Amino acid sequence: MKKFLGALFLSFVLSHSALAVTNIPWTKEGCESVKGTWITTHSATDPGCDEAHCNGMNYCRSNVDLNWWSAFIWCQSIGHKLVSLSHLCPGVPSGPNSASKACLNAYGVDNVSYRWTNMPWSTNMGLIIGSAGDIRDNATRNWAGCRAVCEE
Q: Is residue 144 part of a domain?
A: yes
Question: What is the chain's mean pLDDT, rounded?
Answer: 85
The per-residue pLDDT for range 109-150, each reduced to its tens digit, is: 998 999 999 987 788 898 899 988 898 888 899 999 999 999
Range of the domain at 120: 22-151
For residue 98, the model assigns a pLDDT of 73
Q: Is residue 8 part of a domain?
A: no
Count of the separate structural domains present in the chain: 1
Q: Is residue 11 part of a domain?
A: no
Q: Is residue 107 part of a domain?
A: yes
The per-residue pLDDT for range 14-43, each reduced to its tens digit, is: 333 344 568 999 999 999 999 999 999 999
For residue 8, the model assigns a pLDDT of 38
Q: Is residue 3 part of a domain?
A: no
Helix extents (H) in 19-135? 28-33, 68-77, 85-88
Q: Say which CATH number the domain at 77 has.
A: 3.10.100.10
Q: Is residue 103 part of a domain?
A: yes
Cβ pair 111, 131 in contact under 8 A: yes
The string over 107-116, giving b where at least 16 C-beta atoms fall within 10 Å of a residue's C-beta and e elsewhere, is bebbebebbb
Among 52, 31, 26, which residue's Cα sits nearest to residue 105? Answer: 52
Q: Is the pLDDT of residue 77 over 90?
A: yes
Cβ pair 111, 81 in contact under 8 A: no
Q: Is residue 4 part of a domain?
A: no
Separation of alpha carbons 84 and 70, rounded Å:
16
DSSP string, 60-92: EEEEEEE-HHHHHHHHHHTT-EEPPHHHHSTTS
Among 12, 30, 145, 17, which residue's Cα sits nearest to residue 78? Answer: 30
For residue 100, the model assigns a pLDDT of 77
For residue 20, the model assigns a pLDDT of 59
Separation of alpha carbons 141 and 71, rounded Å:
10
Q: Is residue 59 part of a domain?
A: yes
